[in-house]
């Protein structure tokens, strides 16, 4: 029996995706991290690959297997992630699903910090580069469609609208990551897709579509369908 070929709406398109947390070293044995599992970003990579795209996935430390047919680049820190993302350009579509650590330790210890009688170590933090904003604002090589995520625990839509304008991306997938939702680390996600048209970086021109609760694979499939 001849089956009709699977539709490949993203054939010939290069898709770049970030996923997972980042780890920011405190010293050689300790780090700052967050609860991101990487599941949503990996699901998007698999869905884009299934739609025929040439997919590069830049992932922080996660306990997930490489999706078949996807080029996976594993990184540790936010700065590593930015460098590998920049090196992976150009892309037609870039999707920033990673939960990048906002801060890193200002002076990473070369040796393991030891308990001393002098008291607690004080960790000074500095801000990490914003990968989504950096790529959104590129003059050359900006992917034609740049999609961010907005992880919020309150004022979800308002914060996400402000984020789309501030970062200069085209779409934002906003989700509530309050502990009660189980989104961080879980298998389901309830998202809102915010889109803005053309050049207008204007909070009022942003459209909001609210999707029902779905598995992260379903969110990925719907997002890829929208992109297609």
Residues with catalytic roles = 34
Q: Out of 102, 152, 176, 187, which residue is the one contacting Ca ion (CB under 5 A)?
A: 102
> What's the closest the beta carbon of residue 72 comes to Ca ion, in angstroms?
23
Distance of CA 119 to the CA centre of its chain: 38
**128 touches ligand CTP by CB under 6 A:** yes
Stretch that binds ligand CTP, among 6-14, 61-69, 94-102, 199-207 (CB under 6 A): 94-102
Q: Out of 17, 21, 39, 130, which residue is the one contacting ligand CTP (CB under 6 A)?
A: 130
The CA distance from 146 to 16, in Å, is 10
**78 touches ligand CTP by CB under 6 A:** yes
Find which of Ca ion, ligand CTP, none residue 170 binds, CB within 5 to 8 Å per kind.
Answer: none
What token pair was written down for 44?
């998007």
| Residue 163 in marked binding region | yes
| Residue 96 in marked binding region | no
**156 touches ligand CTP by CB under 6 A:** no
Distance of CA 110 to the CA centre of its chain: 29
**Shorter beta-carbon distance to Ca ion: residue 35 or 200:** 35
Q: Exposed, middle or buried, 1 (CB in 10 Å: 0-12/13-18/19+)? A: exposed
Instruction: Map the footprint of ligand CTP across residues 9-28, applying CB under 6 A.
Output: 18
Residues forming beta bridges with residue 171, ordered by sequence position:
147, 195
| Residue 131 in marked binding region | yes
φ, ψ for residue 159 (rounded to 5)?
Answer: -65, -40
Long-range contacts (CB closer than 8 Å, 24 or more residues apart) made by 192-201: 192/156, 192/157, 192/160, 193/223, 193/226, 194/150, 194/157, 194/160, 194/161, 194/164, 195/170, 195/171, 196/164, 196/170, 196/171, 201/164, 201/165, 201/168
> What's the closest the beta carbon of residue 34 comes to ligand CTP, in angstroms?
9
> What's the closest the beta carbon of residue 94 comes to Ca ion, in angstroms?
17
Q: Exposed, middle or buried, 16 (CB in 10 Å: 0-12/13-18/19+)? A: buried
> What's the closest the beta carbon of residue 127 comes to ligand CTP, in angstroms?
8
Q: Residue ranges for the binding site?
A: 102, 112, 129-132, 149, 163, 167
Contacts with Ca ion, residue ranges (CB under 5 A): 102
Binding-site ranges for ligand CTP (CB under 6 A) = 18, 78, 96, 98, 100, 102, 128, 130-132, 148-151, 163
């Amino acid at each position: 029996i001849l089956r009709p070929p699977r539709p490949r709406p993203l054939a010939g398109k290069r898709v770049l995706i970030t996923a997972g947390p980042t780890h920011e070293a405190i010293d050689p044995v300790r780090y700052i991290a967050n609860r991101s599992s990487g599941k949503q970003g990996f699901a998007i990579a698999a869905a884009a690959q299934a739609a025929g795209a040439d997919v590069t996935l830049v992932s922080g430390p996660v306990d997930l297997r490489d999706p078949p047919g996807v080029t996976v680049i594993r990184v540790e820190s936010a700065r590593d992630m930015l460098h590998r993302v920049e090196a992976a350009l150009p892309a037609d579509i870039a999707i920033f699903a990673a939960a990048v650590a906002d801060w890193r330790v200002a002076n990473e210890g070369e040796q393991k910090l030891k308990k001393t009688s002098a008291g607690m170590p004080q960790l000074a933090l500095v801000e990490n580069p914003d990968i989504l904003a950096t790529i959104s604002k590129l003059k050359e090589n900006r992917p034609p469609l740049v999609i961010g995520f907005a992880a919020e625990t309150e004022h979800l839509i308002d914060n996400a609208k402000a984020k789309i304008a501030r970062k200069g991306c085209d779409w934002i997938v906003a989700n509530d990551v309050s502990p009660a939702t189980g989104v961080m680390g879980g298998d389901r996600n309830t998202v809102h897709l915010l889109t803005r048209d053309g050049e207008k970086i204007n909070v009022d021109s942003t459209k909001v579509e609210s999707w029902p609760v779905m598995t992260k694979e379903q969110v990925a499939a719907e997002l890829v369908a929208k992109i297609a």
